[in-house]
Chain A
Amino acid sequence: MVKLKDLIQKEPIMEGGHRMCLGCGAPIIVNLILRASDAPVVLANATGCLEVASTIFPYTAWRSPWIHSAFENAAATASGIETMYRALRKRGKINKKINFVAFGGDGGTYDIGFQSLSGALERGHRFLYVCYDNGAYMNTGVQRSSATPFGASTTTSPAGVVIQGKLQKRKDLTKIVVAHNIPYVAQASPHNWLDLAKKAEKAFSVDGPSFLNVVSPCPPGWKSEAKDTIGLSKIAVDTCFWPLYEVENGKYTINYKPKEKLPIEAWLKPQGRFRHLFKPENAELLKQIQQDIDKEWESLQKLSGL
């Protein structure tokens, strides 16, 4: 069972001095997950903010072996490492447990790295894939991805006179991963450290692939305040924009049910990327967003037998 006391005794695997932005959610997620590991870790990282800003030559923020090869193949890189580990183990050259973790942003996971992720999940490698979902290609200056929420203004879906932000709805990647029938899939948020650490612990304990999709506030991309990162991720959960749930061998469980589901405005308002939605002429869009959230929340409750 995860204990906060034990977690914080461990040194962070991702050290300070990295050049992620002020208040970036990604390193919080990374350190929580890695602190929950029961064994040493070997890491693969897709191209993106986390990779770029953590390893500016000749410096590295990582305390553990870490490999970056390209944008689209973090899962393939992790599968390769895990395969080598199994081979060495068979030959008796290694016998301790090592955990393998791949990190990718939403661009590197939902979009360009999706094929290699799907392949690695299907092959059944024992590794954890973590997507830190900040809802756009942030490292290159906020371009829309298939994780960008409907209505969000990005540089490639800019709100103006012609469109009101992104015209399409997000892809439900967590459920697509569930469809791979792997042992453990979950959605989590950095504000709920206990839930996130427990999920990481479970993920590390299964003998096969596991996947965590974690909402990751990005102050410059979301046009939010650095200090609000944890508060915003809590609101994402309390509005059911980002429900906390897990799927163990196909069985859905909702891990947290807000006592009072907040209206979606509570999530949209503090973020500049949704500012245009509050113009009177966009009232219909707001309604539509709320309806979509309600529908998805209902369907998730059904899936978990509620």
Chain B
Amino acid sequence: MLFIRRIRFHGRGGQGAKVASRVLGTTAFYEGYYAQDFPLYGAERRGAPITAFTRISNEPILERGIISEPDIVIVIDETLLNDPIAMPLSGVKEGDVVFINTTHQPDKAKARYKICANVITLDLTKIGIDMLGAPVLSALAGGAAARILGLSADSLKKAVEKEISEIITDRALIENNIDAALFCFNAISPIEINLSPHVLSGEETTAVQKESPVISVPFEPALISSPAINAKANTPLRKTGNWRLFKPVWDHEKCTKCMMCVVSCPDGCISVNPAGLPNTSYDNCKGCLICVEVCPSEAIEAVREVHAG
């Protein structure tokens, strides 16, 4: 009987969603399954939401393209649950599994984000910082996903070894990644997963796969394929301030009002207050620190950003 699982990972650029999807795919491959994994970056750059996908099956996988109806969703960055563009819960149905990297207990998270599916939680960020010294969560999220899918610890170990050593050469760090992946694998107590009927009916899926190996993409009308945006400069609503590692802080006593910072800001977010002094909007300042460099009076200091919670 055909077995196929569709897993979607949501993270921000740099957190490891793409590698997590690879770790999971490779784990399944070592376990004897067919596997497929790929990321989707969109037009965004650093810090932006990214999605990655894994398909696992006991038969060759003919399906292509992004997964809009996942069986399992892995949310590596909790803030994405409120992001209107990332929409990690889209296509999630009752009986599916949503894993969230959070400090909340599953029932709390389920209620808070109004999730109809089964919810599993684990504080990956803390584990990452404790075991790897940084919140790079690829091996960890891959480990959690492997457990949810019922794959073995042995295959996971081999997969992390393979995938992580393609990115880093530091042996100790590779070992730490394997340990962290296994830690996450074991930290999740297997729950009974009741996947929705459309995934379970093997025959049906097989029939769909066999009948039309080519998925046809419907033609989109021009309004959809090249849409118009009838708003005036609404990007400030997207808080690029969460890209920041350092923030510029002004010492207005030292400022000579030369305005070099205002004209040199790539994000157009430094404005002048009624007293003629520059201020930035931390909602959109990405922390490039060009202003700190161009200020001739050393009136701007770079201060380490500490994100709350």
Q: Footprint of B on A, CB under 8 Å?
A: 4-5, 7-9, 12, 14-28, 31-32, 52-63, 190-191, 193, 226-231
Q: Are A31 and B235 in contact (CB under 8 A)?
A: no
- In the bound complex, do residue B264 and residue A230 qualify as a contact, i.e. CB atoms below 8 Å apart? yes
User: In chain A, what residue has the closest Cβ to B235?
Assistant: A17
- Give the interface of B toward A (CB within 8 A): 42-46, 48, 85, 227, 229, 231-240, 243, 259-260, 262-269, 271-272, 281, 283-290, 292-294
Considering the complex, give the chain A residue whose CB is closest to the CB of B44: A19
Is A15's CB under 8 angstroms from B268's CB? yes
Check B233 against A229 for contact (C-beta < 8 Å).
Answer: no
Assess whether B288 is in contact with A227, with CB atoms less than 8 Å apart: yes
The tally of CB-CB contacts under 8 A between chains A and B is 131
With most chain B CB atoms within 10 A of its CB, the pick from A25, A26, A52, A56 is A56
State how many angstroms separate the Cβ of A131 from the closest Cβ of chain B. Answer: 18
CB distance from A267 to the nearest CB of B (A): 17
Residues of B within 8 A of A61 (CB): 233, 235
A57 and B45 contacting across the interface, CB-CB below 8 Å:
no
Which residues of chain B come closer than 8 Å to A57, judged between CB atoms?
227, 229
Q: Point out the residue from A15, A23, A28, A52 that lies within 8 Å of B236, measured CB to CB.
A: A15
Given contacts A15-B268, A16-B267, 20 further A-B contacts (CB under 8 A): A7-B263, A8-B272, A15-B233, A15-B235, A17-B236, A17-B239, A19-B48, A22-B243, A23-B266, A23-B290, A31-B263, A58-B227, A59-B229, A59-B231, A60-B229, A60-B235, A193-B263, A226-B288, A227-B289, A227-B290
**Could you list 23 examples of A-B contacts with CB < 8 Å?**
A4-B263, A8-B259, A16-B236, A16-B281, A16-B284, A17-B239, A19-B43, A19-B240, A20-B266, A21-B46, A25-B266, A28-B263, A28-B266, A53-B43, A56-B44, A56-B85, A56-B235, A58-B227, A59-B235, A62-B232, A63-B233, A227-B292, A230-B264
For residue A53, which residues in chain B have a CB less than 8 angstroms away from its CB?
Answer: 43-45
| A278 to B74 CA separation, bound complex (whole angstroms) | 45
Contacts of A55 in B (CB 8 A): 229
Asked if A63 contacts B236 (CB within 8 A), the reply is: no
Q: Report which of A16, A193, A229 forms a contact with B269, defined as CB distance below 8 A.
A: A16
Task: For A23, give the chain B residue with the smallest CB separation.
Answer: B288
| B contact patch SS | loop
Chain B residues with CB below 8 A from A54, complex form: 235
Contacting pair A62 B233 (CB below 8 A): yes
Expressed in whole angstroms, the minimum distance between the Cβ of B299 and any Cβ of chain A is 16
Q: A27 contacts which chain B residues (CB < 8 A)?
A: 266-268
Name the residue of chain B whose CB is nearest to the CB of A57. B227
Chain A: minimal CB distance from B302 (Å): 8
A17 touches B237 (CB 8 A): yes
In the complex, the chain B residue whose C-beta lies closest to that of A193 is: B263
Residue among B42, B233, B288 with the highest chain A CB neighbour number at 10 A: B233
**Assuming A22-B287, A56-B43, is B268 touching A12 (CB within 8 A)?**
yes
Q: Which 4 A-B residue pairings sit nearest by Cβ, starting from the closest? A: A17-B235, A16-B284, A12-B268, A23-B288
Which residue in chain A gives the minimum CB-CB distance to B265?
A: A28
A8 contacts B235, C-beta separation under 8 Å: no
Quick check: B293 and A17 within 8 Å, CB to CB? no
Contacts of A191 in B (CB 8 A): 264
Across the interface, B43 reaches (CB within 8 A) one of A21, A52, A193, A227, namely: A52
Question: Which chain A residue lies CB-closest to B263?
Answer: A193
Which of A19, A28, A60 is close to B231, meaning CB atoms less than 8 Å apart? A60
For B227, list chain A residues within 8 Å (CB). Answer: 57-58
